[in-house]
């Protein structure tokens, strides 16, 4: 997960307005453009104390660019008095809801959760004439136990408008796949150039080669050059066959789940090592103390339960050069940390 754009936001001065717009269906996008949806939320932010000049930063951006180019996903914007600091696609599922926050820290928990959970697959579907390249964002099925129900959380709020509603899945979290695709013509240098550019810019977790055997055979050497041989291959992916494309979607889902499990296992191993070395803590008070001292190497949060003062913890972690990871395992107060160094005793702190 590339957090550099988020890290820059955390170094800025507040207060901040953070806006999340869900991925709308085509019918809703036509009937309720993003600016109208923003206007429905801004009055509550004014009540919470947000300055009209700050709110204009968001409105002006949505007026100039109602949607991100070529993007059918959700959108997240963060602004302070200096301007809009972040404007990115947010791979939110339908019906997650629009919401806005006015707070002393940017409310980035929803965004970093989505980025941490998602698996990016660059899928090369070969035929005899070229390749259809899909960028697949897959949200793996839940690895650990889930807690059903709907929660309400006030996360680092300034005023009542910052109360956010979020959803958790009952039972296993369903798998979501979203696709964007581009056809690359049959000249191999075009395919190679495109794949090299996309692996640099989009940073996929895995490249997958599929499609007809004759096309795959042509592209194997090119993939060795473009992605240094780091790819998997599958027989599925005949574009003319709806059944075969459905089987490909299932295969991609399995690949994403494997990557998700590997992440969880690696995270568990790192935490166990940190505990053995007395470099792991849990609980809101201890983690907040570590954040104040700039001692957090990795902040560990729960996927489905925001921690108390989560926005402040995220900002402190990113400002000090730390990272964030998420788990489906319940932890004390929903927050833990791997430390760069041991904390001094409380009476010495």
What's 4-116's CATH class? Answer: alpha beta
277-348 folds as 60s Ribosomal Protein L30; Chain: A; (3.30.1330)
Domains 118-140+175-262 and 277-348 share a fold: no
Q: What is the pLDDT of residues 223-261, one digit of tens each?
A: 777 777 678 888 876 766 777 788 888 889 889 889 888
The ranges assigned to domains in the chain are 4-116, 118-140+175-262, 277-348
Highest mean pLDDT of the ranges 90-94, 150-154, 185-189, 328-332: 328-332
- How many angstroms separate the CA atoms of 324 and 318, rounded? 8
Look at the pTM and tell me if it is higher than 0.85.
no
Domain 118-140+175-262 has CATH 3.30.420.60: yes
- How many angstroms separate the CA atoms of 201 and 287, rounded? 34
Residue 103 parent element (H or E): strand 99-103
Share of the chain above pLDDT 90, in %: 28
Q: Are 162 and 248 in contact (CB under 8 A)?
A: no
């Amino acid at each position: 997960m590339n957090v550099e754009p988020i890290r820059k936001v955390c170094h800025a001065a507040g207060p901040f307005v953070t806006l999340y717009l869900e991925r709308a269906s085509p019918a809703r996008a036509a009937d309720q453009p993003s600016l109208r949806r923003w206007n429905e939320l801004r009055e509550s932010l004014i009540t919470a104390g947000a300055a009209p000049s700050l709110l204009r930063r968001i409105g002006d951006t949505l007026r100039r660019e109602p949607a991100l180019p070529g993007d059918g996903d959700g959108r997240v914007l963060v602004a302070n008095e200096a301007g809009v600091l972040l404007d990115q696609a947010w791979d939110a599922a339908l019906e997650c809801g629009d919401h806005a926050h006015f707070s002393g820290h940017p409310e980035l928990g929803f965004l970093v959760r989505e980025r941490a959970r998602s698996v990016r697959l660059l899928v090369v579907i070969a035929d005899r004439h070229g390749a259809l390249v899909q960028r697949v964002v897959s949200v793996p099925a839940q690895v650990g136990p889930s807690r059903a129900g709907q929660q309400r959380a006030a996360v680092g709020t300034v005023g009542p408008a910052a109360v956010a509603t979020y959803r958790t899945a009952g039972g296993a979290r369903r798998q979501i796949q979203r696709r964007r695709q581009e056809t690359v013509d049959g000249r191999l240098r075009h395919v190679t150039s495109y794949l090299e550019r996309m692996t640099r810019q989009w940073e996929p977790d895995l490249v997958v080669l599929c499609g007809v055997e004759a096309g795959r055979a042509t592209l194997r050497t090119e993939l060795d050059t473009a992605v240094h041989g780091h790819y998997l291959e599958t027989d599925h992916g005949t574009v003319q066959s709806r059944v075969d494309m459905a089987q490909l979607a299932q295969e991609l889902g399995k690949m994403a789940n494997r990557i998700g499990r590997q992440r969880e296992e690696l995270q568990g191993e790192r935490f166990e090592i940190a505990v053995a070395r007395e470099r792991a803590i849990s609980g809101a008070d201890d983690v907040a103390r570590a954040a104040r001292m700039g001692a957090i190497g990795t902040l560990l949060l729960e996927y489905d339960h925001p921690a108390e003062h989560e926005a402040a913890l995220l900002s402190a972690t990113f400002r000090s050069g730390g990272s964030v990871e998420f788990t489906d395992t319940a932890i004390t107060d929903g927050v833990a940390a791997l430390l760069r160094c041991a904390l001094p005793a409380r009476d010495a702190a």
